[in-house]
Chains A and B, each alone.
Chain A
């Protein structure tokens, strides 16, 4: 049964990945850039996936 649980699960995974991205990027000339890029990418891709998933959870119309 389609449920909201995958959304929360994936959210947790993405937050974990973002934390890893923040902590494990090596100090260097491009640390800020790489960190920001990784975290923003993860966040925006998750957002889009979440919206797409939730839009189809309990569809109000069925196809014809």
Chain B
């Protein structure tokens, strides 16, 4: 197409460009092209190990910076109070191109390293201080509890002492003994004190009892507050214990057992004054530590805040630099010309834009050598690039999910813009529900700019991505709702109905009389409450599904034509397209015509009974030519049906044999000319080989590796035949099964209508008659329930279901008629897309 504008009809024309970039400008050029997002670079060093490529050093440095940035991010996230990260569009820019670029990157490296060391130090000291705090707190507990023990022990001693008073002993001797006794209490019974996990205390006791054969006195109490481990956040509960025993050997044993059970021992003095001194000292040290901890926390927080100011910008810069160097690793270094050689796919239309970008990069960097751009000729298949905008992006994505279109074949995404919402709406037809989803989509579109900046939840993000699809779905649903005359399961009475209901007969059944009027737009509302309403609607919807299905498939089949014409395959038109079309139309097109014809006759004026179309079709195939005169649709039906059936039957061998035969003849001709073994490709490969030879003569030292890697289609004749057999069978059987598959349009719309009606009749209808204040409140509550059920069940669930089925119809029934889908996506180096990938 000599077109000046890109269209969605086909993917863009791509050309392979060769860039000759002087090494000084390389970084800035790649940065500029990355901003543009229009070039997909080829890997020119596929055999080179990633660790041996030229820019490994730079990549390592950027990886180091990326690791530091990730570390900061995790630290910020772990912090209990939220540290605000300034968003990217608000951050101060960091210049990464031009003469000052290297200096800026070095500065960034130093800054990041500095932040990391400082943060690391603060984290370490925080941890150490916390540990020490914990120990001191434990020591304080131990001191307190042991103080209690000793007091108790002393009171007990005084008790024992008083019991001695009863005996007849002289006073002075008594006092001596008292002194002796007290001192013996203090010096003979030595002890071990410490803390242990609450879970282990009973085991500890038992083990000690057994080891020391009961020669100990142990006491323990709980520490009420649990200890929180700063690293993991787990809580442990500990007990304070004190064990009295005498003798060094026993004490040593106790100490060993305690250590093996994971207890922590603390040196406690027997003297009460010394204990209170220790307590005061511990308390003082604790206070100091708390202050230091608090200050460290403050410092850390201020450091994190400073990091948060720039974090987004750093992430962006690091990501871009890494992408730039990875791309530069794909380039080839040409020793003769001392430049980097790059090859990439570029949309032909954007050639001028790329040229300007290269020139801009050169200006930015301050050198005067402009990179050279050359077009290469190749027979490799270019990637498929479809230029979409925010509207068509969604539609293109859902069609691409089935398979990327072959380079420059007709793009089904263009037609899906209308056919997809339309088929969805046929399954979803309800004015009310259509309006609900229309307004939901409208809201998302109005908030587009704001939402695009935010990080959306995964599910909400999916809905946001498809907002234009949902908008169109809503619009078409309103239309089909008007057609089905269904708004929240009620019908609208906009025009005069075509039926009059007389007074009911004795058995309560009344038959409507047609009054000659035609309800002009949609299903007559009189059908809405009728007993046999479903019979009519089912027949109507089923026939409509078949009509729409056959027309959709015919349309998809016709899309083959532009492909055959563009890729110069006239054989395919005669061998594939025409027989397929005839086959489809002679059976199913005939069915559609019969449906429409049967509808257009006034059967009350005919003497024949209206025939069942399904039986008619089956009879046409099973017993052709025999048409019962009383059940015929039109005169001469038998003869015409035989002709159509014969046409369809002729198409099968036509499809089967014609293409293989002609391809075999071609192969014979080529073999006859002595060109055996060369890869045979349709469409004149000879011109490109001539050019390649020419260029070789001129001495262009280009890496001409094209032919070696080209796909050699070995035209094994058996393969061709098998391929054609599969294709034929698939098409013929597919015709029948796909036509029946379109009946899902009827099935889902029936389900939707019934669900909607059940919801109404089970909820609101029951509450409409109630009166009084109680009735009104109940009605309001039921309305709320009805509305939320409508949104969640009918709109969301049914909507997703209809979405899926409409998509399936596009993917299987329509695409199988024309789509090859063997392309690969165009993935340019694009900094904008890097964000999305993250």
> What residues make up the interface of A, taking CB atoms closer than 8 Å to B?
1-2, 4, 6, 27-33, 36-37, 40-41, 44-45, 47-49, 51-64
B794 to chain A, nearest CB (A): 21
Residues in A neighbouring B499, C-beta threshold 8 A: 62-63
Contact-size category for B: 35 or more
* Further pairs besides A33-B8, A54-B600: 15, Cβ < 8 Å: A6-B518, A29-B5, A31-B7, A32-B7, A33-B417, A36-B417, A45-B479, A48-B479, A48-B480, A49-B521, A52-B544, A55-B544, A58-B604, A63-B511, A64-B510
A52 touches B523 (CB 8 A): yes
Output the least CB separation between B286 and chain A (Å): 73
Within B492-533, which residues are at the interface with A (CB < 8 Å)?
Answer: 498-499, 501, 509-514, 516-524, 526-527, 530-533
Check if A37 sits within 8 Å of B7, measured CB to CB: no
A44 near B7 with CB under 8 A, answer: no
In the complex, the chain A residue whose C-beta lies closest to that of B536 is: A61
26 residue pairs A–B, Cβ–Cβ below 8 Å: A2-B516, A6-B518, A31-B5, A33-B392, A40-B418, A45-B479, A48-B426, A48-B479, A49-B521, A51-B543, A51-B548, A52-B522, A54-B596, A54-B599, A54-B600, A55-B539, A56-B518, A58-B599, A59-B514, A60-B603, A62-B511, A62-B513, A63-B512, A63-B531, A63-B533, A64-B512
Decide yes or no whether B439 CB sits under 8 A from chain A.
no
Question: In the complex the two chains form, is B543's CB within 8 Å of A55's CB?
Answer: yes
Asked if B7 and A33 sit within 8 Å, CB to CB, the answer is: yes
Sorted nearest first, the 4 A-B pairs with minimum C-beta distance are A40-B418, A63-B530, A32-B7, A2-B518
Bound: A37/B540 CA distance, A: 27
Asked if B523 contacts A56 (CB within 8 A), the reply is yes
What sequence of 0s and 1s flags, for each residue 232-256 of chain B, a beta carbon within 8 Å of any chain A beta carbon?
Answer: 0000000000000000000000000
Contact indicator B518/A59 (Cβ below 8 Å): no
How many Å from the CB of B429 to the closest CB on chain A?
9
Task: Indicate if B77 sits at the interface (CB-CB under 8 A).
Answer: no
Closest partner residue, chain A, to B501 (CB atom): A63
Q: For the complex, what is the distance from the CA of A63 to the CA of B578, rounded to whole Å?
A: 45
Please, which residues of chain B bring their CB within 8 A of the CB of A30?
Answer: 389
Asked if B483 is at the interface (CB within 8 A of a chain A CB), the reply is yes
Q: Give the chain B neighbours of A44 by CB distance below 8 A.
A: 418-419, 422, 548
Cα A28 to Cα B3 with chains together (Å): 11
A32 in complex: contacting residue of B414, B418, B422, CB < 8 Å: B414
Q: B residues within 8 A CB of A54?
A: 596, 599-600
Choice from B392, B419, B509, B603 contacting A40 with Cβ under 8 Å: B419
Tell me the bound Cα distance from A63 to B524 in angstroms.
11
Compute how far the CA of A58 lies from the CA of B551 in the bound complex, rounded to whole angstroms: 24
B5, B9, B526, most chain A CB atoms within 10 A: B5
Let me know if B601 is at the binding interface, CB within 8 A. yes
- Decide if B622 is an interface residue (CB 8 Å cutoff): no
Taking the closest CB of chain B, its distance from the CB of A10, in whole angstroms, is: 10
CB contact between B498 and one of A2, A32, A48, A55 (< 8 Å): that residue: A2
Q: How far is the CA of A36 from the CA of B531 in the complex (A)?
A: 42
Q: Is the CB of B518 within 8 A of A57?
A: yes
Min C-beta distance of A45 to chain B, whole Å: 6
User: Does the CB pair B516–A61 fall under 8 Å?
Assistant: no
Q: Which of B422-481 contact A (CB under 8 A)?
A: 422, 426, 479-480
A36 to B7, CA, bound (A): 11
- Give B540's nearest chain A residue, CB to CB: A55
Of chain B, the residue at the smallest CB distance from A34 is B417
Q: A29-B5, A64-B512 are in contact. Are A56 and B498 (CB under 8 A)?
A: yes
The answer for the CA separation of A49 and B543 in the assembled complex, in Å, is 13
Contact with A along B344-365 (1 / 0, CB 8 A): 0000000000000000000000
Q: A21 vs B204: C-alpha distance in the bound complex, in angstroms?
A: 92
CB closest residue in chain A, given B545 = A51
- Docked complex Cα distance between A58 and B518 (Å): 10
Within the complex, what minimum Cβ distance (angstroms) separates A9 from chain B?
12
Set of chain B residues within 8 Å of A53, measured between Cβ atoms: 518, 520
CB <8 Å contact, A48 and B544: yes
User: With a CB–CB cut-off of 8 A, which chain A residues contact B511?
Assistant: 62-64
> Is B171 part of the contact surface with A, judged by Cβ < 8 Å?
no
Which residue on B lies nearest to A33, using beta carbons? B8
Residue in A closest to B7 when the chains form the complex, CB atoms: A32
Residues of chain B with a CB closer than 8 A to A57's CB: 518, 599-600, 602
Q: Is the CB of A1 within 8 A of B516?
A: yes
CB distance from A19 to the nearest CB of B (A): 17
Complex formed: what's the CA distance from A29 to B349 in Å? 13
Is B308 part of the contact surface with A, judged by Cβ < 8 Å? no
Assess the A4–B600 pair: CB atoms within 8 A: yes
Complex CA–CA separation, A38 to B313 (angstroms): 45
A6 neighbours in B (Cβ, 8 Å): 518, 520
Q: Which residue of A lies closest to B426 (CB)?
A: A48
Tell me, in angstroms, the Cα distance from A28 to B610 when the chains sit together.
Answer: 52
A56 to B513, CA, bound (A): 14
Shortest Cβ distance from A38 into B: residue: B418
Q: Are A61 and B418 in contact (CB under 8 A)?
A: no
> Nearest-CB distance from B418 to chain A (Å)?
4
- The answer to whether B262 has its CB under 8 Å from any CB of chain A is no
Give Cα A30–Cα B392 distance, bound, in whole angstroms. Answer: 10
Interface pair B601/A29, CB less than 8 Å apart: no
Measured CB to CB, the closest approach of chain B to A52, in angstroms, equals: 5
Set of chain B residues within 8 Å of A29, measured between Cβ atoms: 5-6
Measured CA separation A63–B668 after assembly (Å): 69
Residue picked from A52, A62, A63, A64, most chain B C-beta under 10 Å: A63
Q: Do A63 and B417 touch across chains, with their CB atoms under 8 A apart?
A: no
In the complex formed, the residue of B with least CB distance to A1 is: B516
* Residues in B whose Cβ lies below 8 Å from that of A52: 483, 522-523, 540, 544
Q: In the complex, which residues of chain A have a beta carbon less than 8 angstroms from the beta carbon of B523?
A: 52, 56
Per the bound structure, the CA–CA distance linking A18 and B380 in Å amounts to 40
Contact yes or no, B414 A33, CB < 8 A: yes
CA–CA, A28 and B540, complex, Å: 42
Residues of chain A with a CB closer than 8 A to B231's CB: none
- Is A59 within 8 A of B483, CB to CB? no
